[in-house]
Structure 1
């Protein structure tokens, strides 16, 4: 059964404190914090709970309430799909049983925006698949992990040491849940941090599917040149041009620029030694 058939979303000006009892309520799905605003998600209408939160959080205002399906929130259907021999599917809809032709990845998107079907996510997963099946990739740093899909894909493809980072706490919690669902606790470490502050972590492959505002600082880090490979994604055409211009001034080789939809760009490269 899809637990996200219907979402009740409460939009706050300010970040309310949600008590432990409210967090343990099975209808509470999480809080998405963005700067000085927050969205609280429930699987049923929670007006009484919200009234209590407002009374306990002085100075916090409820701006609006939304009711929508999970598919409306995510902007896509939550259903199985394939990237090469990887099959990504929600916990309530497994499309196969013990099929050796596919590596299954169970992905519960929670209420973190996106089902993994965004062009940049699929392009990153495609390139991770290529590198992990053709080269020896022992360690990956996944910055802006979101639901953790790229890290899960790397682990499913045999990578032993995967670090999944996101600055958004709800994204980290969602990734942790997906790590447990796929029994990758021994391969993936998920944690909260700013991407530009952890560039120094050693790894064979750096993957960053993030906003350009963060990317532009990361590519100036000297630690980029210490990676064996890098995948940079989440870039519109004008942003990709700026990134490529900056990288042209460094000792790196751009192997591929993917932009199949003509809008979103993903760059594969490696430092020259």
Structure 2
């Protein structure tokens, strides 16, 4: 395969990407910040169900893969012949065209996922790894179609909370709202929670959760959000701040009196917004923080 590397201003990223994929037969196109790892780097944050904040960065690098050098060269020639290649201050330019070495992509992907320690005895272990000797409780989980491999700080914080509150979970109903891969529901089951409902709007997440639960030998129900019913002593939701604010009345309505609410997917600068959204029902507090992400928890009066 051959990789064509282009640089484009934000205003042309979408047009150039569309041309590469729809007209020039690129196998894939990725967009990166040309100023990454410099003082000019700019973070872009998007949330599910919301429009992207922008199509790209002020200076974006586009990388397109092609089957052959001829196809990549032809694409470059056609793109650079367009008017946008010569617009003053807003032009598209080619920075590289090179061969991409063949790789064992499965092995490369696997190498990026090592066992993740939650506590000294509780680990997340991909199926291609042997469990650490100290692991007495573990989740076997491989990267799949649904979010939640255990490597993200929000997932680790939620699982850490579960491990520290086993006495509050054992033998009690648990709701994992926005279950993704089902990792939090499985973690709760391993710590004695029962029965457990894991719900998501994504059919792939529902199916992945059911399969992961079976692979880990735990029992739970997975389904669409309307499957959740009644009150639960523990409600978990690792989503993102905007949907969590919208879901405040619903989630709080599912928390039993005296029950716990555990929320993640929140940046530290968003703490006050979440506290205000949940204040009518539950007083939230920041109980953990990792790499700019926070875990917010609270108990329903009762």
Name which of 175, 196, 199 aligns with 1:165. 199
How far is 1:114 from its partner?
Answer: 4.4
Residues 1-273 of structure 1 aligned to structure 2 (within 5 Å): 69=105, 77-84=112-119, 85-96=121-132, 102-133=136-167, 136=170, 138-184=172-218, 187-193=219-225, 200-221=229-250, 223-224=253-254, 226=256, 228-250=259-281, 252-254=282-284, 256-261=286-291, 263-273=292-302
Question: Secondary structure, in 3 states, of the residue corresponding to 1:79?
Answer: coil
Question: Secondary structure, in 3 states, of the residue corresponding to 1:258?
Answer: strand
- Number of residue equivalences: 202
How far is 1:256 from its partner?
Answer: 4.2
Distance between the aligned counterparts of 1:173 and 1:138, measured in 2? 24
Cα deviation code 1:195-252 (max 9, x no counterpart)? xx566532110001112232112212361553511001111233322111233344x3
Kept in 2: contact 1:131–1:137 (CA 8 A): no
Change in Cα spacing, 1:236 to 1:71, as seen in structure 2 (3 Å) is: farther
Kept in 2: contact 1:255–1:270 (CA 8 A): no
Change in Cα spacing, 1:226 to 1:198, as seen in structure 2 (3 Å) is: farther
Unaligned runs of 5+ in 2: 1-20, 23-47, 50-66, 68-101
Change in Cα spacing, 1:78 to 1:224, as seen in structure 2 (3 Å) is: same
Question: Secondary structure, in 3 states, of the residue corresponding to 1:230?
Answer: strand
Larger Rg: 2
How far is 1:72 from its partner?
Answer: 8.2
Change in Cα spacing, 1:71 to 1:200, as seen in structure 2 (3 Å) is: farther
Kept in 1: contact 2:123–2:137 (CA 8 A): yes
Unaligned runs of 5+ in 1: 1-11, 14-33, 36-46, 48-66
How far is 1:188 from its partner?
Answer: 0.9
Change in Cα spacing, 1:110 to 1:93, as seen in structure 2 (3 Å) is: same
Kept in 2: contact 1:71–1:78 (CA 8 A): no
Kept in 2: contact 1:105–1:152 (CA 8 A): yes
How far is 1:270 from its partner?
Answer: 0.3
- TM-score, length basis structure 1: 0.64
- TM-score, length basis structure 2: 0.58
